[in-house]
């Protein structure tokens, strides 16, 4: 599904505006399939051929502007499968952004009143599909599972190879990424731990949950992925820090800092951030760098997880 490896781009103008150097953007917004983003790497594993063999219906859930739901619906369209998406309301009068694309790909949308209802409704729908003679596959929200995160363990190795050929004289990498269902962050943690990369400092910037919850979920998923590999892993060697200073009024609600990040990335680098995840992650990176600075021994990397259709909602 994904076009790999995704580029590692040196953002000189943005770095200058932030008073740091060097600054790179790992462009997972360019994974390609169905307008790309980080969900493509995870769904490559969750929707691998052996897992979907005989399946007639994919069922998953997310917010009304869910990138995960967009990519799942697109895969179903390509594979000729029925797709049912559970999203929280209200029903939009005129769908835009990801909500429009989900419908364009032919997904059936089931609206629930609250995020807490989504998982139970997915399994209820699966039972109904089975009773009708179909064979459903329930894809967990965000594809954030022990299996799905392995896509980002692979991405960690991909990034490590790219950094190995960068001649910038830096010994340590500060890597900033958005975090909500935590699959991307957990996969990176697992990947760098497997590689023994103690020179990488991971920062997960929350889009919604408290920092402690993000850390707990990330470590639990990373251990789940390691168990699937039957690999002994020491996670203590990789610095993991979770930040929740950009949550604001909640999931999908922009903040002044996230709006500033959108404008700065666009005007200085021609790069589009989405308002739910990447804008808050970029704001978190900018705030951390303003408070802590960096040094001649460190490079900064921002992992762009995509999602730009949400900006057009």
Burial class (CB in 10 A: 0-12, 13-18, 19+), 3: exposed
Identify which of 95, 145, 142, 148 has the alpha carbon closest to the alpha carbon of residue 118: 142
pLDDT recorded at residue 293: 86
Q: Which of 21, 66, 144, 258 is catalytic?
A: 66
Identify which of 93, 13, 2 has the alpha carbon closest to the alpha carbon of residue 270: 13
66 in active site: yes
Per-position pLDDT tens, the chain of length 313: 999 999 999 999 999 999 999 999 999 999 999 999 999 999 999 999 999 999 999 999 999 899 999 999 999 999 999 999 999 988 888 999 999 999 999 999 999 999 899 999 999 999 999 999 999 999 999 999 999 999 999 999 999 999 999 989 999 999 999 999 999 999 999 999 999 999 999 999 999 999 999 999 999 999 999 999 998 899 988 999 999 999 999 988 999 999 999 999 999 999 999 999 999 999 999 999 999 988 889 999 999 999 999 888 8
pLDDT recorded at residue 90: 84
pLDDT recorded at residue 50: 96
pLDDT recorded at residue 313: 81
Whether the Cβ atoms of residue 298 and residue 174 lie closer than 8 Å to each other: yes
pLDDT recorded at residue 65: 92
Residue 105 CA to residue 83 CA, distance in Å, equals 9
pLDDT recorded at residue 291: 95
Distances 62 to 58, 66, 217 between C-alpha atoms, Å? 13, 5, 18
Side by side, which strands form the sheet with 82-88?
A: 108-112, 82-88, 57-62, 136-138
Hey, what domains does the chain have and what are their CATH numbers? Answer: 8-36+145-312 (3.40.50.1100), 55-134 (3.40.50.1100)
């Amino acid at each position: 599904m994904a076009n790999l490896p995704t580029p590692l781009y040196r953002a000189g103008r943005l770095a200058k505006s932030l008073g740091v150097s060097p600054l790179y953007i790992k462009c997972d917004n360019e994974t390609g399939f169905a307008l790309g983003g980080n969900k493509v790497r995870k769904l490559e594993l969750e929707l691998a051929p052996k897992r979907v063999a005989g399946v007639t219906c994919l069922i998953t859930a997310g917010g009304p502007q869910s990138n995960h739901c967009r990519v799942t619906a697109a895969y179903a369209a390509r594979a000729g499968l029925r797709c049912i998406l559970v999203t929280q309301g209200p029903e939009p009068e005129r769908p835009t952004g990801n909500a429009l694309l989900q419908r364009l790909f032919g997904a059936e949308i089931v609206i629930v009143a609250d995020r807490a209802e989504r998982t139970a409704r997915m399994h209820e729908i699966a039972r109904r599909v089975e009773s009708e003679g179909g064979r459903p596959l329930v894809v967990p929200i965000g594809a954030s599972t022990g299996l799905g995160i392995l896509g980002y363990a692979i991405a960690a190795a991909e990034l490590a190879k790219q950094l190995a050929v960068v001649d910038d004289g830096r010994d340590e990498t500060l890597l900033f990424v958005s975090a909500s269902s935590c699959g991307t962050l957990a996969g990176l943690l697992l990947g760098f731990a497997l590689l023994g990369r103690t020179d990488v400092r991971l920062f997960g910037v929350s889009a919604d949950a408290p920092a402690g919850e993000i850390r707990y979920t990330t470590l639990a998923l990373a251990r789940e992925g390691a168990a699937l590999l039957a690999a002994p892993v020491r996670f203590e060697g990789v610095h993991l820090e979770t930040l929740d200073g950009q949550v604001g009024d909640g999931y999908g609600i922009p903040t002044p800092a996230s709006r500033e990040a959108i404008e700065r990335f666009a005007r200085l680098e021609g790069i589009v951030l989405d308002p739910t995840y990447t804008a808050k992650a970029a704001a978190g990176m900018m705030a951390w760098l303003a408070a802590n600075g960096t040094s001649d021994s460190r490079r900064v990397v921002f992992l762009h997880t995509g999602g730009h259709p949400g900006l057009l909602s």
